[in-house]
């Protein structure tokens, strides 16, 4: 499984954001969901063109991010998979 974070999702990949958010009051932190996914073998990519719009630098992302990728990388990913989910 590969997750390509773009638009608002890049904000969750910024260091310090997911560590301080939870899905519900008193619930599990978002960073813990991300780490569970990584432990299950998920690859996380972040859209480079989306970063400037949120004033995020590529060197200020969480360690769980595997790659900062281009829109072309996203197109290649879409064309290479058997199944695609997006939201």
Per-residue pLDDT of the chain (87 residues; tens, 9 = 90+): 999 999 999 999 999 999 999 989 999 999 999 999 999 999 999 999 999 999 999 999 999 999 999 989 989 988 998 888 887
Provide the b/e sequence for 49-85 (b: ≥16 CB within 10 Å).
ebbeeeebeeeebbeebeebbeeeebeeeeeeeeeee
Examine residue 85 and state whether it is found in any structural domain, yes or no.
no
pLDDT value at position 85?
87
> Structural domain of residue 60, as residue ranges?
2-80
Examine residue 34 and state whether it is found in any structural domain, yes or no.
yes
pLDDT value at position 49?
95
Examine residue 87 and state whether it is found in any structural domain, yes or no.
no
Examine residue 63 and state whether it is found in any structural domain, yes or no.
yes
Examine residue 49 and state whether it is found in any structural domain, yes or no.
yes
Nearest to 30 by CA among 8, 51, 1: 8
Q: How many domains does the chain have?
A: 1
* Partners of 29 in beta bridges: 22
pTM: 0.88
């Amino acid at each position: 499984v590969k997750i390509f974070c773009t638009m608002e999702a890049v904000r969750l990949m910024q260091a310090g954001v997911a560590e301080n958010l939870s899905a519900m009051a008193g619930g599990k932190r978002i960073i813990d969901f991300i780490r569970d996914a990584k432990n299950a073998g998920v690859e996380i990519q972040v859209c480079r063109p989306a970063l400037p719009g949120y004033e995020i630098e590529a060197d200020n992302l969480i360690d769980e991010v595997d790659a900062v990728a281009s829109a072309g990388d996203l197109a290649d990913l879409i064309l290479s998979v058997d199944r695609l989910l997006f939201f």
